[in-house]
Amino acid sequence: MRKRELQRALVMSKGSTASMGKFDEKLKGEPKIKGLKRKFDPLVSAAGAEKTKNMEILGRVAKGDSSATVLNVRKAQRAINNSKRSKK
In tens, the pLDDT along 42-77 reads 777 787 888 898 898 888 878 876 665 566 778 888
What is the rounded CA–CA span in Å between residue 68 and residue 21?
36
In tens, the pLDDT along 9-50 reads 877 777 777 776 667 777 777 767 676 677 777 777 787 888
Q: Angle at the Cα of 31 (from 26 to 33), degrees rounded to 5?
A: 85
Number of neighbours of residue 21 by Cβ within 10 angstroms: 19
pTM of the predicted model, to two decimals? 0.31
